[in-house]
Structure 1
C-alpha cells in the first residue's frame, strides 16, 4: 500500500496494484480499475516514485525470503502529510503505522 493525501489533508492508503491511471489536470487524480477516483495533493511524479518503491520492497522481501527462509522486513517510508492529526487511518493519534510483521517461509 502507498499513502496519499486528500485535498482536505486526510491520509489514506491505496493498493498500487489497483491503480489504472494517474492524471495531472492540474490536480492529481488517481483512477482505480473499478472506476473509483481520488483527488490527491501529491504530484504525479511523486506517486510514480512511491509505486516504484513499493514494488521494489515487494521484490526485495521476496528475494530475501527465497535466500534466507525469512524476510528482512523493509520499513515503510514515513509520510510527511500536511495535517496528520486529521487522518482517517486507524493507526493512532500520532499517525504512526503499526510495526511490520516479519514473513516466514512455509514449511512443506
Structure 2
C-alpha cells in the first residue's frame, strides 16, 4: 500500500497494484483499474517512487520468508499447484 494525501489534507492508502495510471493535469490524478479517480497532492515522480518502493518491499519480504528457517513441525508451507496435468510433469 502507498499513502497519499488529498488536496484538503486527508490521507489514505492505495493499493499500487490497482493503479491504472497517474497523470498531471496540472493536479495529480490517480486512476484505478475500476475507473475511480483521486486527486492528490503528491507529484507524479513521488507516486512512481512510492509504488516502486512498495513493490520492492513486497519482493524483499518474500525473499526474507524463503531465507527463514523451515516451518515448524505440523505447519505446512505454501507450494505451487499446477493448473493443468501437463504442468505437473
**TM-score (norm. length: structure 1):** 0.65
Shift of 1:25: 1.0
Aligned to 1:89: none
Query: Aligned partners of 1:24 and 1:44: how far apart in 2?
Result: 7
Instruction: Determine which structure has greater relative contact order: mean sequence separation of CA pairs < 8 Å that are 6+ residues apart, divided by chain length.
Output: 1
Q: Give the strand-richer structure, 1 or 2.
A: 2
Structure 2 residues without counterparts, runs of 5 or longer: 77-89
SS at match of 2:7: coil
Structure 1 residues without counterparts, runs of 5 or longer: 71-103
SS at match of 1:9: coil
- Runs ≥4 residues deviating over 4 A: none
Aligned to 1:43: 43
Aligned length: 75
Coordinate RMSD, CA, aligned: 2.0
Question: Superposed, which structure 2 residues align to 1:30-69 within 5 Å?
Answer: 30-69=30-69
SS at match of 1:61: helix
Per-residue CA deviation, residues 60-87 of structure 1 (Å, 9 max, x unaligned), is 00000001148xxxxxxxxxxxxxxxxx
SS at match of 1:7: coil
Question: Superposed, which structure 2 residues align to 1:88-103 within 5 Å?
Answer: none
**TM-score (norm. length: structure 2):** 0.78
Pair member with larger Rg: 2
